[in-house]
Amino acid sequence: MTRRTGRRSYSAASLARHALSGHRCWPRAIPEDRPRSGYEVVIIGAGGHGLAAAYHLARDHGIRDVAVIDKGYLGGGNVTRNTAIVRSNYFLPARGDIADRSLELWEGLSEDLNFNVMFSQGGIINLAHSTSQLDDFARRANAMAIRGVPAELLSRDEVAALLPRLDISSSTRYPVVGGLLQRRAGTVRHDAVAWGYARAAASLGVDIVQNHEVTAITSEGGRVTGVVTPHGEIHADRVIAAVSAGSTRIAQAAGLTLPVESHVLQAAVTEPLAPVLHHVVTHGLVNFYVSQTDKGELLLGGNIDGYNTRIARGGPSPLEEAIRVLVSMFPSLSRVRLLRTWAGVVDMSMDGAPILSETPLGGFYLNTGWCYGGFKTTPAVGELLAEMVATGTTPPMAAPFALDRFASGRIVPEEGHGPKPWMYH
C-alpha cells in the first residue's frame, strides 16, 4: 500500500499546467485502497457524514490511522440520492444549532476541501397557505432570530415578487398567503461533497475502502474490537457507524435494537430549462420541495412512500403527488418533461430527529436516524463525530441526540407526530 504525502492542490496554476499537456496527466483524485489489518478508527459508511468525520479526525485531531469502508462505491448511497438542499430554518434549538453550524461550514467548504462543491445560496422559501400557518412561520422565524439566524416573513406580494412564475391567484388549488425566507439556505452539488471530502481525507492519510460490506462487529469485554467483511476482519480501537439505510442491521451486529425504521424516499429531475427558479421552494400543505440545479434541471421531491421497505425503488403515487403540486404551483411548467427518477432507503427515527451518540458498547459510536434531512448537516456532523471519538466526550451540540433519550423521555420532537416514522420529513 502506498502512503500519500500531502495534497496535490487544484489551482489556476495546476489548471494551466495540465492544459499545456492536454489534460492527459491529471493524477487520480481518490485512491482505491485495500484495507490494512487494523486501524485506530474504522468508519462504516463512506457517505457524507462518514467521510466528513474522517476528514475532521485527520485534520483537527491528528488521528490519521483511519479507514472509511463502504459496502458500495463512493457516492453510491444517500449522499447523492438527496435533493441537495441545505438550510437551517428549524424551530427547536437542538435541530437548529447543528444546521446553523453546518451552514457556516458549507460557506467555506469549497476552500477547505480545495474542491468546488458548488454551494449556491439562492435561499429557501416555505410557502404558507393560511393565516394560521403564517402565524406558525412567524413563531419559527422568532425562534430562529433567538438563535441569531436571520429569517424573513414574506407577504403574498413579496412572495409573488420573488417567485414570478408562482400561481398566487385565489383560484389556485392551494392559495398562497405568504412565506418564510431564509436567504443563506441553498443547494450543494451532492456528489462533489462525497468526492471532495474523500479526496481531502485521503490526502491526509485516511484509507477509503469501497465494496467492503460490514457483516459483523467484533467486541470483547463490552468494548468494540473491529469489524468483519467478506474479505476478512479489520481491527479497530473505535468504530463509527455512519450508515443510513441498514443502520438497524449494523446496530444489531453490535447487539443494539434501534428506534429506527427503513423507508424509501423518491426524487426526480426534469429536463434542463433556462433559469426559472432562483430559490428552493417548499409547499406548506403537501410535503413538496423544488429547486433548479446549476445544470437547469428542476429537482423535486416529496414524501416517503409511507411503509417500511428495503427496496430503493418507490411506487408511483408519491411522485405523482409531487408532480401535481409542482404543476399547481407553477402552471407554466406543466409541459416540462421528467428526465429521471430515483430513490433511496432512509433511516426514519421515532421522533424525527437523528441519533448521534456513544452506545452501551464501548468505543462504538452511532450516527443514524437522520430521516431524510441528513445531507444538510454533513459538515457539522463530521466535526462532532470526530470530536466525540477523539476526546471521548459528547459535545454539547450532540448531547440532545443521545441514543438513551427515548428511554429517558427527552425526545427532540421538531414535528411531534409520536413514534410514527412514516409521518416525519
Interface residues with another protein (CB under 8 A) are 248-249, 257-262, 306-311, 315-317, 350, 406-409, 419-422
Q: How far is the CB of 266 from another protein (least distance, A)?
A: 13
Nearer to another protein, 96 or 259 (CB): 259
Instruction: Classify strands 260-270 and 280-282 as parallel, antiparallel or unpaired.
Output: unpaired
CA 70 vs. chain centroid, Å, equals 17
Yes or no: say if 247 and 345 are a contact pair by the CB < 8 Å rule: no
Q: How many CB atoms lie within 10 A of CB 395?
A: 14
Owner of C-alpha cell 428542476: 298
Distances (CA, A) of 79 to 74, 118, 129, 170, 257: 9, 15, 32, 39, 24
Owner of C-alpha cell 432570530: 145
> Which residue from 413, 315, 323 is spatially nearest to 371, judged by alpha carbons?
413
Owner of C-alpha cell 423521555: 409
Nearer to another protein, 261 or 358 (CB): 261
Q: How far is the CB of 58 from another protein (least distance, A)?
A: 33
Q: How far is the CB of 367 from another protein (least distance, A)?
A: 17
Nearer to another protein, 147 or 425 (CB): 425
Q: How far is the CB of 351 from another protein (least distance, A)?
A: 8
Q: How far is the CB of 281 from another protein (least distance, A)?
A: 26
Q: How far is the CB of 240 from another protein (least distance, A)?
A: 20
Nearer to another protein, 236 or 241 (CB): 241
Which residues face 125 on adjacent strands?
181, 281
Q: How far is the CB of 132 from another protein (least distance, A)?
A: 25
Task: Please give the angle made by the CA atoms of 366, 372 and 373, to the nearest 5 degrees.
Answer: 80
Nearer to another protein, 137 or 372 (CB): 372
Distance CA 211, CA 302 (A): 30
Nearer to another protein, 287 or 309 (CB): 309
Nearer to another protein, 158 or 321 (CB): 321
Q: 122 Cβ partners below 8 Å, 6+ apart?
A: 185, 186, 187, 278, 279, 280, 291
Nearer to another protein, 315 or 395 (CB): 315
Q: How far is the CB of 306 from another protein (least distance, A)?
A: 5
Q: 384 Cβ partners below 8 Å, 6+ apart?
A: 98, 356, 395, 397, 398
Yes or no: say if 306 and 150 are a contact pair by the CB < 8 Å rule: no
> Which residue from 27, 24, 44 is spatially nearest to 35, judged by alpha carbons?
44
Q: How far is the CB of 2 from another protein (least distance, A)?
A: 38
Distance CA 16, CA 267 (A): 38
Nearer to another protein, 295 or 310 (CB): 310
Q: 3-state DSSP helix/strand/coil percent for the chain, to nearest 5?
A: 30, 25, 45
> Which residue from 102, 209, 83 is spatially nearest to 149, judged by alpha carbons?
102
